[in-house]
Amino acid sequence: MVTATDPRQATALLETRGLTKHFPIRQGLFGRTVGQVKALDGIDLRIAGGQTVGLVGESGCGKSTLGRCLLRVHQPTAGEILYRAPDGTPVDLAALDEQGLKPYRSQIRLIFQDPYSSLNPRMTLLQIVGEPLKVNLGLARPEIEERVAELLRRVGLRPEYMHRYPNAFSGGQRQRVGIARALALSPRLVVADEAVSALDVSVRAQILNLLKDLQEESELTYLFISHDLGVVEYMADEIAVMYVGRVVETGETDALYARPLHPYTEALLSAVPDPAPSSRRRERIVLRGEVADPSRVPSGCPFHPRCFYAQDRCKTEVPALREIAPGRTAACHFADQLQLRGVGE
């Protein structure tokens, strides 16, 4: 059903086309390039304004590299990052130099994974959260204090904490500080890279709910990167599944979880803990072998050596990411024939 909040109807805030990032592998005394790590290999991804896109996949499949390219921490090797500026103009962030990127640096921000190592222990919360206000906006101390107090309130911390140091706080509180810092410049898109993975299970839900509340208050858009499919199901309107530098499936969260179209997604979902274990049990699909090495991507479909449904064609022909049903894409030759198992069957 197409509803008012259907991500397919919302305008894209950011869209990547053919986004590619290869890291050279260097060897020897003169650093000769002997190969390439294909961390991203032609990513087409659409992030609708005000929505959360969940990016999932095993470790090493390129999720963080994608986030870093959007933030332009990395210079992409090829492809476009089309960002809709506040006045509606599309801007290709991949093509801009540091000077050109300046106006957009405040609009796309990152929440770090580890609230222990990402906060400087020698800086007070005022300095940590206020730093972007000083550096990017050049604000004076009284105004910074005022804004930091407001930011701390928004993330559920007492304003008087601003004079304390990070070691006075728990993991969950520290991540609230990290979120306050990410929000200091009123961004439009926030990349949350494993934002709750380092936290105790007991505080994860509080941080996830905080992120949801902040999204509602400020119409934020999230790219929510996680290897935890349970967490992503709770957070994301839409999902993109990555495998070795490529997007292999996209769709609305409910539809994708109920009926995956790519065998890799089916395997990932089979590992999500069963909410009602006494009912018909889902069988966990144990994939053979390790995730492919992005410097030696298998021929044909990169997933074929691990796929239980692979046919001869899969060994030679690379499947394109194509629309299988409205709002559903998959990069599998047999996506419209396979009857794969989802969650909650």
Positions that interact with ligand ATP (CB under 6 A): 23, 37, 39, 57, 59-65, 227, 294
Using an 8 Å Cβ cutoff, are 280 and 343 in contact?
Answer: no
Give CA–CA dist 285/270, Å, rounded.
6
E strand residue ranges, the chain: 12-27, 32-48, 52-56, 78-84, 90-92, 108-111, 189-193, 221-225, 238-243, 246-252, 322-325, 328-330
In the bound state with ligand ATP, the residue whose beta carbon lies nearer, of 48 and 241, is 241
CB of 39 to ligand ATP, least distance (A): 3
Q: Which residue has the tokens 């709910």?
A: 209
In the bound state with ligand ATP, the residue whose beta carbon lies nearer, of 36 and 206, is 36
CB of 111 to ligand ATP, least distance (A): 15
CB of 278 to ligand ATP, least distance (A): 33
CB of 281 to ligand ATP, least distance (A): 28
CB of 79 to ligand ATP, least distance (A): 15
In the bound state with ligand ATP, the residue whose beta carbon lies nearer, of 114 and 131, is 114
CB of 194 to ligand ATP, least distance (A): 7
Give CA–CA dist 327/100, Å, rounded.
34
- Residue of 38, 27, 105 lying closest to 65 (CA atoms): 38
CB of 294 to ligand ATP, least distance (A): 5
- Which residues touch 92 (CB under 8 Å, ≥6 apart)? 80, 81, 82, 83
In the bound state with ligand ATP, the residue whose beta carbon lies nearer, of 37 and 111, is 37
In the bound state with ligand ATP, the residue whose beta carbon lies nearer, of 64 and 265, is 64
Give CA–CA dist 56/63, Å, rounded.
7
| Rg of the chain on CA atoms, in Å | 21
Using DSSP, state whether 246 is helix, strand or coil. strand
Give CA–CA dist 162/324, Å, rounded.
51
In the bound state with ligand ATP, the residue whose beta carbon lies nearer, of 39 and 241, is 39
Amino acid at 100: G
CB of 10 to ligand ATP, least distance (A): 26
In the bound state with ligand ATP, the residue whose beta carbon lies nearer, of 37 and 321, is 37
In the bound state with ligand ATP, the residue whose beta carbon lies nearer, of 33 and 99, is 33
Q: What strands, in cross-sheet order, belong to the sheet with 78-84?
A: 32-48, 12-27, 78-84, 90-92
